[in-house]
């Protein structure tokens, strides 16, 4: 049975052990607004519904701008809001210059961006141009005849040449990325679903169209683009055969194809360099070198990338903190001087942060959610925080396939059935990993549907909204929400957390992640207990007068053995100033 079924595209991108070590003398990286930002990601479909149709919308977000401002975040990343038939919840765009009907109108968008900018919040939008929807006018034209002027906007393989060499589709029921189309007796390529045909970046006309679209949004005042799946955009269009079994490591074959950097340089020249916008890539290639090539300032391509090997560590059976520490330390050292990274442990493609990396039992949900937030807010890089995680929202754990809304899991379930695999086991794993866990409606209050909608929500609300919701947490000074606010403010007031040198302490401790951040004479110690047990951190730093700055427990940890060891309570997070 295939073991690599669950959202394969989220699996680690097989980063080469580059042996890249942190330089001995680190200079402080150049200062930029997007390095200092805390990004709050909003999944519009599930955030707030204003008109009772059960689907979140732009007016809903507008009604919550003061809440977003109150978090202290400076950038919102909005998942796609463009016209779309919603095969993949907006990641299948049918008109890049229009707003999805479910979400509202362009006038709503203008009010949204004005409302954000008035509050000092920047807006980053998804740019989904590895593929479009099959309902995009370009594709309708392209499929209509072999000589249509849009034919080469996509990848076609004429059937008289025989079957094209195998390509793996992440979302297709059969995982076959070539779909036969009888209209012109040819196959088209789709790395994602059948309704998401891949665009042909070799075609300069297509590239010009994309830059035009980017300018359209940049002229409207947006502050950045998150390039969806872009590392897959460039292909070897001779479509050579890949070795048997390539699909288990398809990223090695798909990522960073020929001319990708040429396209990015062109995009930078044509659009990004002409505005004060940031560009962030989903995926960081197959090695540190790839990641640097995407983001190093002197290359004039993008500003940040996000790699998956941190987020992919969590497994239903648990994960090793030693592994976690090793991965984050390795990435930090590789980007200590050049380039810049995004920090995240959850997003709309993941299950909930506290359910995957923490402990969502009633006893430990709050401390572990706060501890994870402390981690993300004290590492080097730009933290991305997914809506609802600031409340400590948890996985819903659907039990039946009919509960799910995500096309990718429905298709995979069908695939598992077709190959006579154990579908019960599949559903069990999905309770932990499915993307729909992270897409249930935002829990605003204890009223009907958690205050998300007055209608029927497009996806069920997690029944725990009665006791996990923003209204309750507002009132509690020790809630996850209020702790998150404190943390964001703390990061803002301590640039050492953005730019400072990172050093791991107590490296072999399997329960504690301890590190310092240091810059311009200021040194901060972060102690994180990743376990449900009382434990001890042996940090071996000399603390003349350790000053506790922030903790997820109301009392400071008890020091043991002079000034070098600390007793930590379950999921305790404590920050000290050392200098």
Active site residues: 228, 282
Among 128, 284, 307, 498, binds ligand NOJ (CB under 6 A): 128
Is residue 96 within the footprint of ligand NOJ (CB under 6 A)?
no
Is residue 82 within the footprint of ligand NOJ (CB under 6 A)?
no
Minimal CA–CA distance to 124: which of 37, 189, 52?
Answer: 37
Using the minimum distance from each CB to ligand NOJ, give the nearer residue, 223 or 282. 282
Check: CB of residue 129 under 8 Å from CB of residue 210. Answer: yes
Instruction: Work out how close the CB of 7 gets to ligand NOJ at its nearest, in angstroms, rounded to a whole number.
Output: 9
Is residue 452 within the footprint of ligand NOJ (CB under 6 A)?
no
* CB-nearest residue to ligand NOJ: 91
Is residue 470 within the footprint of ligand NOJ (CB under 6 A)?
no
Instruction: Work out how close the CB of 9 gets to ligand NOJ at its nearest, in angstroms, rounded to a whole number.
Output: 7
Is residue 192 within the footprint of ligand NOJ (CB under 6 A)?
yes
Using the minimum distance from each CB to ligand NOJ, give the nearer residue, 44 or 500. 44
Collapsed DSSP state (helix, strand, coil) of residue 311: helix
Is residue 412 within the footprint of ligand NOJ (CB under 6 A)?
no
Q: How far apart are CA 9 and CA 294, in angstroms?
A: 19
Is residue 88 within the footprint of ligand NOJ (CB under 6 A)?
yes
Query: Segment 267-286, which members bind ligand NOJ (CB under 6 A)?
Result: 282
Instruction: Work out how close the CB of 429 gets to ligand NOJ at its nearest, in angstroms, rounded to a whole number.
Output: 19
| CB-based burial label for 429 (10 Å; 0-12, 13-18, 19+) | middle
Among 40, 91, 109, 306, binds ligand NOJ (CB under 6 A): 91
Q: How far apart are CA 148 and CA 139, in angstroms?
A: 10
Binding flags for ligand NOJ, 211-250, as an x/- string (CB under 6 A): -----------------xx---------------------
Among 172, 349, 366, 572, binds ligand NOJ (CB under 6 A): 349
Tokens representing 180 are 């036969």
Instruction: Work out how close the CB of 94 gets to ligand NOJ at its nearest, in angstroms, rounded to a whole number.
Output: 14
CA terminus-to-terminus distance, the chain: 55
Q: Which residues does 255 contact at the CB level (< 8 Å), separation at least 6?
A: 13, 231, 232, 283, 285, 286, 290
Instruction: Work out how close the CB of 199 gets to ligand NOJ at its nearest, in angstroms, rounded to a whole number.
Output: 12
- How many binding residues for ligand NOJ (CB under 6 A)? 9
CB burial of 248-267 (b: ≥16 within 10 Å; e: otherwise) equals ebbbebbbbbeebeebbbbb
Q: How far apart are CA 90 and CA 95, in angstroms?
A: 11
Minimal CA–CA distance to 292: which of 280, 305, 282, 279?
Answer: 305
Check: CB of residue 233 under 8 Å from CB of residue 263. Answer: yes
Is residue 78 within the footprint of ligand NOJ (CB under 6 A)?
no
Is residue 360 within the footprint of ligand NOJ (CB under 6 A)?
no
Check: CB of residue 100 under 8 Å from CB of residue 90. Answer: yes
Interface contacts to ligand NOJ, rule CB under 6 A: 88, 91, 128, 192, 228-229, 282, 348-349
């Amino acid at each position: 049975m295939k073991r690599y079924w669950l959202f394969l595209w989220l699996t680690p991108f097989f980063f080469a052990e580059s042996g890249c070590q942190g330089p001995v003398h680190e200079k402080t990286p150049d200062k930029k607004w997007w390095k200092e930002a805390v990004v709050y990601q909003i999944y519009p479909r599930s955030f707030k519904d204003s008109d009772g149709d059960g689907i979140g919308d732009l007016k809903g977000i507008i009604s919550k701008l003061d809440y977003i401002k109150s978090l202290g975040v400076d950038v919102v990343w909005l998942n796609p809001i463009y016209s779309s038939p919603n095969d993949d919840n907006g990641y299948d765009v049918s008109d890049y210059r229009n707003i999805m009907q479910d979400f509202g109108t362009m006038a709503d968008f203008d009010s949204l961006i004005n409302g954000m900018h008035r509050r000092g919040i920047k807006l980053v939008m998804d740019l989904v141009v590895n593929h479009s929807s099959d309902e995009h006018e370009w594709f309708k034209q392209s499929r209509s005849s072999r000589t249509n002027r849009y034919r080469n906007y996509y990848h076609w393989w004429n059937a008289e040449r025989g079957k094209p060499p195998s390509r793996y589709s992440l979302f297709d029921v059969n995982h076959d990325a070539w779909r036969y189309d009888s209209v012109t007796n040819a196959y088209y390529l789709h790395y994602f679903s059948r309704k998401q045909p891949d665009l042909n970046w070799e075609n300069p006309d297509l590239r010009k169209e994309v830059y035009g679209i980017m300018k359209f949004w940049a002229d409207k005042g947006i502050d950045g683009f998150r390039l969806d799946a872009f590392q897959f955009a460039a292909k070897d269009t001779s479509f050579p055969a890949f070795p048997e079994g390539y699909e288990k490591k398809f990223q090695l074959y798909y990522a960073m194809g020929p001319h990708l950097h040429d396209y990015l340089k062109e995009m930078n020249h044509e659009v990004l360099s002409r505005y004060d916008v940031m560009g962030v890539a989903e995926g960081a290639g197959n090695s540190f070198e790839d990641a640097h090539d995407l983001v190093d300032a002197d290359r004039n391509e993008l500003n940040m990338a996000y790699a998956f090997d941190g987020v992919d560590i969590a497994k239903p059976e648990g994960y090793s903190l030693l592994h976690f520490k090793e991965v984050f330390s390795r990435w930090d050292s590789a980007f200590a001087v050049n380039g810049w990274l995004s920090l995240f442990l959850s997003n709309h493609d993941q299950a909930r942060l506290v359910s995957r990396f923490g402990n969502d039992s009633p006893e430990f949900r709050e401390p572990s959610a706060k501890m994870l937030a402390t981690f993300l807010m004290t590492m080097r890089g730009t933290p991305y925080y997914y809506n609802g995680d600031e409340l400590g929202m948890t996985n819903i754990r659907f039990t039946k396939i009919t509960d799910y809304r995500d096309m990718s899991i429905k298709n995979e379930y069908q695939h598992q059935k077709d190959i006579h695999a154990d579908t019960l086991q599949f559903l069990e794993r999905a309770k932990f990993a499915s993307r729909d866990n992270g897409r249930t409606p935002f829990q605003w209050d204890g009223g009907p549907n958690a205050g998300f909608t007055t209608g029927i929500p497009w996806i069920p609300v997690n029944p725990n909204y009665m006791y996990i919701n923003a209204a309750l947490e507002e009132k509690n000074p020790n809630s996850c929400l209020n702790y998150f606010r404190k943390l964001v403010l703390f990061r803002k007031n301590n640039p050492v957390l953005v730019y400072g040198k990172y050093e791991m302490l107590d490296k072999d401790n399997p329960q504690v992640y301890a590190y310092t951040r240091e810059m311009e004479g200021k040194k901060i110690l972060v102690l994180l207990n990743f376990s449900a047990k009382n434990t001890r951190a042996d940090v071996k730093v000399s603390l003349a007068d350790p000053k506790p700055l922030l903790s997820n427990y109301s009392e400071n940890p008890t020091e043991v053995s002079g000034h070098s060891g600390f007793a930590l309570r379950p999921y305790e997070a404590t920050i000290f100033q050392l200098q």
